[in-house]
Amino acid sequence: MKKWMTLTLAMVMAICCLTACGGKKEEAPAQVDVDLSAFYTDVEAECGIPEGYMADLEGEMLEGYYPGLADIAAKQLIAKAPMMSAVVNEMVFMQCETEEDAAAAAKILQDRVTMQAEGGAWYPESMEAWSKGEVIQQGTYVAMVASAEYQSTIVDAFNGLFA
């Protein structure tokens, strides 16, 4: 009887030890909180973009460039383009309420890149620069970068915010 009791207790202890070693649930990575205005200011400084060269795209101009983008709930929205320039340099940085909203914004922004690359930009050099434009979604954040001079610098800096 003692052997049976000892064996039973040993099995119960083994089971308890094994259940205590169960896998831990991995926590979802914490949502990164990015100040897009500060990020854009850093981009201007790093790329040497002169103050006042890039203008805010708002209202009718925003709707004309990115139809439907203003209808998406945004926590932050920075949309910039030069008003007079032969050099492609257009950027949008947006934080949406949800990842679904961010995906919808990414589609609108990708439509802009595709349209410009396929002839909307008119000039061969501009269309080529637009063909290298990128739309990036990082959770609820979205970026569109089309820059003949600073494309990889800006894209790398944006992606670095979430690394």
Range of the domain at 150: 32-160
CA 158 to chain centre: 7
CA separation for the pair 139, 95 (Å, rounded) = 9
- Asked if the structure places residue 147 within a domain, the reply is yes
The confidence score (pLDDT) of residue 12 equals 43
Name the domain count of the chain.
1
SS3 content of the chain, % helix, strand, coil (to 5): 50, 20, 30
- Asked if the structure places residue 11 within a domain, the reply is no
- Asked if the structure places residue 152 within a domain, the reply is yes
Residue 3 confidence class, pLDDT cut points 50, 70, 90:
low
- What pLDDT, in 10s, does the model give residues 97-144? 999 999 999 999 999 999 999 999 989 999 999 999 999 999 999 999
Alpha-carbon distance values, 64 to 15, 19, 57, 108, 148 (Å) = 66, 60, 9, 12, 22
- Asked if the structure places residue 2 within a domain, the reply is no
Average pLDDT, the chain: 87
Provide the residue type at 83 as one letter: M
The confidence score (pLDDT) of residue 17 equals 47
- Asked if the structure places residue 3 within a domain, the reply is no
Mean pLDDT of 52-70: 96
Q: 123: which 2 tokens?
A: 């000039």
- Asked if the structure places residue 6 within a domain, the reply is no
Residue 85 confidence class, pLDDT cut points 50, 70, 90:
confident
The confidence score (pLDDT) of residue 84 equals 87
- Asked if the structure places residue 14 within a domain, the reply is no
